[in-house]
Amino acid sequence: MNRSILRLPAIAALLFCTASAPVMAFNLHVEGSTLMNENGTSVRLTGVNWFGMETSNMCPHGLWARDWKGMLMQVKDMGFNCIRLPWCDAMLRTGATANSVNFYGVDPYRKNATTDMNKELAGKSPLEIMDIIVDGCAELGIAVVLDNHSREPDNYMNEQVWYTAKTSEQQWIADWTFLASRYKNSAAIVGCDLDNEPHGTASSGGSQWGGSDTLYDWKSAAQRCGNAILAANPNLLIVVEGVQQVGATSYWWGGNLRGARDNPVVLSDNSKLVYSPHEYGPEVFDQTWFGDATFPGNLPVVWDSAFAFIKNGNKGHLLLGEFGIRDTTSYNGREIGWFSTLLSTLCKSVSWTFWCLNPNSGDTGGLLGDDWTTPVQWKLDMLRPCMAPFLGATPIVQQQPVRKDGVHTRISIAHGCIIFDGCALPENFLVVCSADGKTVLRKRISASSIPLISLSLAPGVYMVAINNEKGQGMTRKFLIAR
């Protein structure tokens, strides 16, 4: 190891912490179509769904093969700043039991771990497991959106409205306010997705947007529940999905927000309101617009009509709560045409949570392979340009960059990588120094980004610079705190 001291006064330092430290609570709000933090800086949630607590397992799936900490670490290292965590009301009841959790072996992502697999979850109730997962996210700086996916386990397909014979609207609201109060001091929980995919038609007794019958008026129910949550915990975002049918026009379950154009949700604090459509390709259902002669050019108009008018008209912030893909070749390439267009048109400017981490999603598969460990790399590669920094990252402190051959060179940390922009490859070197100025790593730059995990750095604070052969440095300066 080269322990010489870096002495380049013209070089700006890039500081980052590789340690997992607790973060301040994320108190987010909406201004126009933009999600903002307490400092008035625009942010986006760019995350992944990890389902299971809404099923008969009553705990996140995959814990039969993985350790919960390893799963969260991998989510962070993949670059996702948020997890949408589905749950069901039944898991809150006395006597609810989690199952299919493995307590033996070593997590493949934590090979050097000295603790037993999932030992913290032994004997815990589903609610206590949720507590542990949420606290783990807080330690890693991952935001959490709680998603009330169903009232009864494995029953969301049958629940057209937000209540059942076992779980009344009053109980549904009480369950939400219970969780809002329980996590009032959480450094991870940012929002409450009130009900997953309200659906059905007027003739079937399904959820409607507005109308005189309060038994089926989803918009009014969302207002009642949202206001109750804000009374219990005013820091939370209230995430409201659409319905299936508005008037004579149907769309994806939860994706039809046409009713909000003239009849928007009104909360006690509308700066906490986030609208959340779901959007899928023909793998889930071959909608008519996928067969249009102008496809995929017709999609932005389809989306604007259904939900994107909210963003385009500055009427609120969008969180694309679910979207996913299994195969790039399915439907003669129409699936990847839909996915690519969605990413380029919307996913760089709205919040989103990809469906899903789990490989056992019947429609889409997941971001992990069937071994629950190996990433599906092409999915990650397509998502990464749309990812936003972790919410704990402080804003860039602007500093005049050094010019070389008329090109501005920039260096940043995002999505778990050191990213270079505008530097010649392989002319330059990445130099990493400890806080006291001692060089701990020097390597030639051969790619435009380097994963932090690949550097094998111990926890601590480091200075990062780009050097050429003559020792001339080029970078900007800012701080990332996790």
User: Which residues of 286-379 form beta strands (DSSP E)?
Assistant: 317-320, 351-354
Alpha-carbon distance of 480 to 482, in angstroms, equals 7
Are the C-beta atoms of residues 223 and 240 closer than 8 Å to each other?
no
Q: How many secondary structure helices (H) and strands (E) does the chain include?
A: 8, 23
pLDDT tens digit string along 271-318? 999 999 999 999 999 999 999 999 999 999 999 999 999 999 999 999
- 307: its two tokens: 């939900």
In sequence order, the 6+-apart residues with CB closer than 8 A to the CB of 91 are: 53, 54, 58, 126, 127, 130, 153
Tell me if residue 307 falls in helix, strand or coil. helix
Written as one letter, the residue type at 309 is: F
Q: How many CB atoms lie within 10 A of CB 254?
A: 26
| Tokens 């932090």 -> residue | 452
Fold of 29-386: TIM Barrel (3.20.20)
Alpha-carbon distance of 206 to 199, in angstroms, equals 6
Alpha-carbon distance of 329 to 287, in angstroms, equals 17
- 423: its two tokens: 């530097």
Comparing C-alpha atoms, which of 426, 311, 382, 335 is closest to residue 79? 382
pLDDT tens digit string along 53-84? 999 999 999 999 999 999 999 999 999 999 99
| Tokens 């806080």 -> residue | 435
- 25: its two tokens: 């609570």
Tell me if residue 414 falls in helix, strand or coil. strand
Q: What does DSSP assign to residue 357?
A: S
CATH entry, 14-19+394-480, from 2.60.40, 2.40.128, 1.20.1510, 2.60.120: 2.60.40
pLDDT tens digit string along 87-106? 999 999 999 999 999 999 88
Alpha-carbon distance of 394 to 14, in angstroms, equals 12
Q: Which residues are catalytic?
A: 197, 322
Q: Return the pLDDT at 414.
A: 53
Alpha-carbon distance of 71 to 62, in angstroms, equals 9
Sheet of 42-43: strand order equals: 29-31, 34-36, 42-43
Comparing C-alpha atoms, which of 15, 29, 3, 17 is closest to residue 271? 29
Alpha-carbon distance of 335 to 233, in angstroms, equals 40
Q: Return the pLDDT at 392.
A: 79
Query: pTM here?
Result: 0.79
Are the C-beta atoms of residues 226 and 232 closer than 8 Å to each other?
no
Half-sphere exposure of 329 (CA within 13 A, CB side): 0
Q: What does DSSP assign to residue 305?
A: I
Alpha-carbon distance of 388 to 407, in angstroms, equals 25
Q: Return the pLDDT at 12.
A: 28
Are the C-beta atoms of residues 433 and 462 closer than 8 Å to each other?
yes
| Tokens 């093969």 -> residue | 65
| Tokens 């259904």 -> residue | 306
- 348: its two tokens: 């760089």
Are the C-beta atoms of residues 274 and 191 closer than 8 Å to each other?
yes
Determine phi and psi for 314, rounding to 5 degrees: 60, 35
Please indicate whether the domains covering 14-19+394-480 and 29-386 agree at the CATH topology level.
no
Per-residue pLDDT of the chain (482 residues; tens, 9 = 90+): 332 222 222 222 333 333 333 345 689 999 999 999 988 899 999 999 999 999 999 999 999 999 999 999 999 999 999 999 999 999 999 999 999 999 998 898 887 666 689 999 999 999 999 999 999 999 999 999 999 999 999 999 999 999 999 999 999 999 999 999 999 999 999 999 999 999 999 899 999 999 989 999 999 999 999 999 999 999 999 999 999 999 999 999 999 999 999 999 999 999 999 999 999 999 999 999 999 999 999 999 999 999 999 999 999 999 999 999 999 999 999 999 999 999 999 999 999 999 999 999 999 999 999 999 999 999 999 999 999 999 976 433 333 343 344 333 456 655 456 666 555 555 677 777 776 667 777 777 766 666 665 666 666 666 777 665 444 444 433 333 33
Alpha-carbon distance of 316 to 313, in angstroms, equals 8
Residue spans of the domains in the chain: they are 14-19+394-480, 29-386
Q: Return the pLDDT at 436.
A: 65
> b/e map of 25-47 (b: 16 or more CB within 10 Å)?
bbebbbeebbbbbeeeeebbbbb
